[in-house]
Amino acid sequence: MVEEVIGEFNSVFDALISNISLQFAFLILGIGIVIIVLAYRKFSNWILTRKFSYTRPHLSNFLRTALLPIFAFILITSVNEYVQIIDIFPGVQLNEKELQQIFVKILNSMNLAVIGYTVAHLIPIILRKHNTSNEEWKDFIKWRDKRGFEDDEDDLFHKIYKWKPPEDPPEDLDKAEFEKLLSTKEGRKTLENYRTSEEFEIGVLIPLVKNPFETWKESERKKYEKYYEKCVNGNNNAGHKLRPGIEPAEIFSIAQWRQEKRLNYYTHVKAGAKPSGYAEKQKELMPKSLTSFIPPLIFSGFLISILVWWNVDLFVLATALAGLGVGIGFALKETLENLFAYLMIRKDKVFMEGDRVLIDNYNGYVHKITTRITYIRHALNESIAIFPTRQMVGSKVINYSKNNDFVPAQIRIGTSYLNDPQQVCSILVKVGKRAMKEVTDDNGLHLAVQERCPYLDQNKPSCGCDKGITDMEQPWVLFDEFADSALIFQMWIYVRNYGSQFKMKSNLRLMVYQEFKKHDIRIPWPIRTIYSGDQVKEEKEIEKLEKDRQKTYDEYGPGKMNEF
């Protein structure tokens, strides 16, 4: 079979050498392809500078991907027609009709390869568009739950939805107060954001437009267009015009813009607020999907189909490629190990960009994962460690983020032997409960995970600190040990992620200091004290605030210390 195919190609090659018309056809084909490639590169760069490349990136990618194959297909088809119409095979050894069929078959094979290339690159674009639509729907649900984002204009939410109050008040609100709230505009707004003790909304949302999701999407697109216009006209935080289509990128595409909003809890994205190159870095850090491996797989399938059409024995071809693959495998052993390690990490989601990990005693955040190396950024931004990706699979990796919805913020405290341990535990419980209510991040979200969000007690929507948490009583306070110069206590509060524990610990220590000072709970110096009658004096001083300490104990109890 292979010899027969080679013979067919040799016949065409002999005809090509001896036939001027055939040479002219191939010359036209070659020049045309070069011109198309050069024009495509120019056109592709031009598209990247256009506004729609930022506002509709999927359409831009579709045009850039489809244009080159379309013109190549037209060129090859034209040459094919030329070969079939004009008699360009006189005087050749092989039958003229058979030779023409072989040449046409070569051109058709080229067309199939072009079609394969097009399909292979268009399918990932379609899949990414589908994923983007899913992300937009999640953003819409978040927008609806929050009753709008802070960058909405003209009270957008109430242009899309109308809130209808319930006929009867909720169980935890008396009827008189309910009717009083309904009678005023501010009161109705309070009821609209009201959450019951079971965290349910009251009333219903009635759509005022035919398709609320599409209306919201259009408003988000308009907000992005305003962001883009500010970037290019110089009316931005950078103070100068930002240029589209350059490297490194200075302007977010709409997909990056949405991702930036998600990372910042849907706050306003200011034009030109980030330094040059930040948009490019964010693009690199956006989650990569396995769709990048689809094009070579589909294109390989088309090439195999073409070989089958030419009656090539795939078993012989596979044997030859297997031998070649063994040689290449030995030469590219480490490269292939990195590649397969990358595929395993992406498929099994061992860790992702942004996860906090510990590998080889290096503690930091996963900055970027590639098919060759993985970057780990130190937790304090002191350095960036570079690991071969295969090492991330072969080494012991501790992931502090994966499937870990909460981690403990733990502190140790030492108090004087003259203080009552049960009273100390009560004061620490008081501090812990206060911290759970008061300690939030910059966006007002509680750091501590808890059974019930404190905002619900104010009839406000939950910040999410109580999602997925059941039967977890906090804080935990334990009497740990008798140390040389102090009674040692431990207290911990579970927070929502690894990074939140540091702010919680700091705030806990400040609050402990305040409460200890208020109740005369003494933190001893780490020294040995020889008493010469001073102990009696100290006991009397401590006894002065006994009633206050006992009152705290009666209210908060000793925590968990009596359960162990």
User: Where do we find the tokens 């330094």?
Assistant: 275
Residue 563 has pLDDT above 80, yes or no: no
DSSP secondary structure string for all residues of 89-105: -TT-SS-HHHHHHHHHH
Residue 378 has pLDDT above 70, yes or no: yes
Class of residue 377 by CB neighbours under 10 A (exposed 0-12, middle 13-18, buried 19+) = middle
Backbone phi, psi, residue 204, to 5°: -135, 155
pLDDT value of position 533: 52
Here the contacts of 238-241 (C-beta below 8 Å, separation 24 or greater) are 238/271, 238/272, 238/273, 239/272, 240/272
Give CA–CA dist 11/98, Å, rounded.
10
Q: What is the arrangement of strands in the sheet containing 373-378, beginning at the earlier edge strand?
A: 384-388, 373-378, 362-369, 356-359, 397-399
For residues 457 and 154, the model is more confident at: 154
Give CA–CA dist 272/233, Å, rounded.
11
Q: Which two tokens stand for residue 413?
A: 């405290």
Give the pLDDT band (50/70/90) at residue 146.
confident
Backbone phi, psi, residue 240, to 5°: -150, 165
| Cβ-proximal residues to 305 (8 Å cutoff; 6+ apart), any chain | 112
List the domains of the chain with CATH numbers: 2-133+295-320 (no CATH), 153-285 (no CATH), 332-399 (2.30.30.60), 407-563 (3.30.70.100)
Asked if residues 53 and 245 have their Cβ atoms less than 8 Å apart, the reply is yes
pLDDT value of position 564: 46
Residue 200 has pLDDT above 80, yes or no: no
How confident is the model over 383-441, as pLDDT tens digits? 788 888 888 877 788 887 766 667 888 999 999 888 889 999 999 999 999 999 999 88
Give CA–CA dist 180/189, Å, rounded.
12
Span of 212-216, 230-234, 243-247, 477-481 with lowest mean pLDDT? 243-247
Q: Which two tokens stand for residue 361?
A: 């005693």
**Which stretches of 146-253 are DSSP H helices?**
156-160, 175-182, 185-192, 212-233
Residue 303 has pLDDT above 50, yes or no: yes
**Number of alpha carbons in the 13 Å side-chain half-sphere of residue 220:** 22
Residue 20 has pLDDT above 80, yes or no: no
How confident is the model over 323-373, as pLDDT tens digits? 766 766 666 677 777 777 887 887 777 777 778 888 888 888 888 888 788
What number is the average pLDDT over the span 259-263?
81
Asked if residues 66 and 122 have their Cβ atoms less than 8 Å apart, the reply is yes
Q: Please give the sequence-ordered ranges of beta strands (E in DSSP) within 342-429, or none if there are none.
A: 356-359, 362-369, 373-378, 384-388, 397-399, 407-415
Asked if residues 128 and 292 have their Cβ atoms less than 8 Å apart, the reply is no
Distances (CA, A) of 413 to 91, 162, 405, 420, 512: 102, 53, 26, 14, 9
Asked if residues 173 and 195 have their Cβ atoms less than 8 Å apart, the reply is no
pLDDT value of position 99: 62
- The DSSP bridge partners found for residue 386 are 375
Residue 286 has pLDDT above 60, yes or no: no
Q: Which two tokens stand for residue 523?
A: 């933190």
Give CA–CA dist 150/339, Å, rounded.
43
CA-closest candidate to residue 57, choices 237, 258, 212, 243: 258
How confident is the model over 55-110, as pLDDT tens digits? 888 888 888 888 778 877 787 777 777 666 665 555 444 455 666 666 777 777 88
Give CA–CA dist 192/205, Å, rounded.
9
Give the pLDDT band (50/70/90) at residue 2.
very low
Q: Which two tokens stand for residue 446?
A: 């509680």
